[in-house]
Amino acid sequence: MVTQRLETLLHTPVRRLAPLSGGCVGEVYQADLADGRQVVVKVDNSASPVLHKEAWMLDYLARHAPHLPVPQVLHHEPDLLIMSFLPGQSRLDAASEIHAADLLARLHAITAPAYGLETDTLIGGLHQPNPWTETWLDFFRDQRLRFMARVAYDAGRLPLDLLKRIDTLAARLDSWLDAPPRPALIHGDIWSGNVLAQKGRITGFLDPAIYYADPEMELAFITLFHTFGDPFFTRYAQQAGIRPGFWEIRRDLYNLYPLLVHVRLFGHSYVTSVQRILDRYL
């Protein structure tokens, strides 16, 4: 079925269709075409397919951050996404980390009048609301912490006592967070599986979860799963600066959001990490 759709849409036979790892939405394949091209194909067979939202995010990055290597969208429907194939592997050395810092510093220099985005997006296949919001604390409190905590609780993944504690912490965010200089466009889901590199250069950022945010949301998430290390952060600080208090105060608070996403997706193993952060601040 997938092969037939590809051949009809791309006007060439498919010589080989092989599954790829990664991605929280649907199945992912590499297709080798008779005309020599290689493409990546995502198929979402769920009751409410959402691949058109991923396509929208990739197109947005291509328009607004053309320096950033992301797959080109060749065709999209809610249940089918065809993208260009990007070379490289998710193995990063110091040179590729430095290149990543340069790329992300430029991405974070792209700004907007408010926080959020013109449309809702996805993170890990989950709904990510992005109503334009004037202040960062309001956006982070209501559209990130409280929203995802409720989603995780409603799915039976987050205990009620932690839901209440997150609500308490959200009401006191101004005790620890200040306003960033301006909204910054972020990729939103930079873990190693979403980064490709080759010969010391980044060749692709995959599976975006974009919106305009405090850029420290990106930096915090990078530390959560150790995507990049010292070479990245040294270079990023040189290029864009890292505000005082990020490492000591704000990093853990910002990582509550991706941890809540992981609680919703993967369950109990991440609840302890949420609780540990809450114990630090409350």
The DSSP secondary-structure symbol of 194 reads G
CA 231 to chain centre: 21
Q: How far apart are CA 159 and CA 156, in angstroms?
A: 7
Q: How far apart are CA 14 and CA 2, in angstroms?
A: 10
Q: How far apart are CA 47 and CA 204, in angstroms?
A: 30
Q: How far apart are CA 38 and CA 17, in angstroms?
A: 10
* Catalytic pick among 189, 207, 214, 252: 189
Does the active-site annotation cover 189?
Answer: yes
Q: How far apart are CA 155 and CA 170, in angstroms?
A: 20
Q: Are 200 and 99 in contact (CB under 8 A)?
A: yes
Distances (CA, A) of 282 to 166, 169, 183, 277: 9, 7, 28, 9
Rounded to 5°, the CA angle 63-64-70 comes to 70
Helical spans, DSSP H, in the chain: 2-10, 51-64, 94-108, 136-139, 147-154, 160-171, 216-224, 230-240, 251-266, 271-281
What letter represents residue 194's amino acid? Answer: N
- Provide the β-strand partners of residue 41: 29, 82
Q: What is the dihedral of CA 82, 107, 227, 146, to 10 degrees?
A: -90
**Catalytic residue list:** 189
